[in-house]
Amino acid sequence: MPELPEATTISSQLSPIIKGLTLNNIVIRKNNIIKNKHLLANLIGMKCSEVSNYGKMVYFRFSSYWVVFHLALTGYLVVDPPQDLYKYSVAEFLLDNNIVVFGAKRMFEKMIVYDSYPFDKYGPDFRTIKPVEFIKILSKSNRNIKIALMDQKTIAGIGNIYACEALFKAGISPTRNTRNITAQEYHKLYNSLVEIINFAIQKRGSTISDYIDAFGNKGEYQYYHKIYGKKICPNCSSKVKTIKIQERLTYFCPVCQK
Ligand SMILES: [Zn+2]
């Protein structure tokens, strides 16, 4: 959290407000989760040329500089926030008459400043890949499908919630090896991810605990989860099984998912 739908929600809300504005100042409240802080002084007076996200990471671009936010579990980026959201402020961006606050409650979050393209070390953003590429990337990785889906170096954007939901929709067990999944099943998984992610973006993401959008509001996709956090399968009424995969609680139906 956030995953692709939440990061896309935040960046698409912020973009029309702050793209093209001049960065007048950055106020730093907490130092320890900011990397390459020395580069920040170069950004003052520059126009924000792009606000977007690469997978789960939201970024602001200022010419050849990139400010990348890893929002982890409790991070937020809120424009002109109410007073209570200043409590966890890490950095405040003053862009003309607008303030964007980067806040973090648990401090697992990160803000990293780069002076060159920062996303080479990640796999392609899920939104940019076609089914053929999706199948090629995953089928060669020879490991558990859920681990492969959540590995940002393989494909960027998918985390625990949307991996659980998509595997359920596609009828694929999260414990399957990527090499034993058929092309037909991969197509189903790809289409499930597209549908789920698009609908989740429409609902401004899922708020399980702390996620809020760029206006400080909770998402609504959690009301549409079919398997994540559930006890009974909505398809067959079997008991939903939970297992830990890489320390993340994985929900699945042992009857519907093969
Ligand atoms: Zn079921």
pLDDT digits (tens, 9 = 90+) for 92-116: 999 999 999 999 998 899 999 999 9
- Using 50, 70 and 90 to split pLDDT, how confident is the model at 245? very high
Q: Which residues contact 88 (CB under 8 A, 6 or more apart)?
A: 74, 103, 104, 105
Residue 138: what pLDDT?
Answer: 97
Q: What domains appear along the chain, each with residue ranges and CATH number?
A: 4-114 (3.20.190.10), 126-252 (1.10.8.50)
Rounded to the nearest whole angstrom, what is the distance from the C-alpha of residue 174 to the centroid of ligand 1?
14
Rounded to the nearest whole angstrom, what is the distance from the C-alpha of residue 257 to the centroid of ligand 1?
7
Q: What is the mean pLDDT of residues 36-57?
A: 97
Rounded to the nearest whole angstrom, what is the distance from the C-alpha of residue 196 to the centroid of ligand 1?
18
Rounded to the nearest whole angstrom, what is the distance from the C-alpha of residue 166 to the centroid of ligand 1?
14
How far are the Cα atoms of 21, 40, 75, 188 from residue 169, in angstroms, in the given order? 42, 44, 29, 8
Rounded to the nearest whole angstrom, what is the distance from the C-alpha of residue 232 to the centroid of ligand 1?
8
Residue 209: what pLDDT?
Answer: 86
Give CA torsion, residues 210, 126, 8, 247, to 10 deg.
10
Residue 90: what pLDDT?
Answer: 97
- Using 50, 70 and 90 to split pLDDT, how confident is the model at 117? very high
Residue 232: what pLDDT?
Answer: 98
Residue 107: what pLDDT?
Answer: 83
Tally DSSP H helices, then E strands, for the chain. Answer: 5, 11
Residue 74: what pLDDT?
Answer: 92
Q: What is the mean pLDDT of residues 8-35?
A: 97
Question: For residue 1, is pLDDT > 80?
Answer: no
Question: For residue 149, is pLDDT > 80?
Answer: yes
pLDDT tens figures, 186-214: 999 999 999 999 999 999 999 998 999 99
Q: What is the mean pLDDT of residues 147-155?
A: 97
Rounded to the nearest whole angstrom, what is the distance from the C-alpha of residue 83 to the centroid of ligand 1?
45
How far are the Cα atoms of 35, 134, 169, 183, 213 from residue 69, in angstroms, in the given order? 10, 26, 30, 35, 14
Rounded to the nearest whole angstrom, what is the distance from the C-alpha of residue 75 to the centroid of ligand 1?
34
Amino acid identity, position 165: E
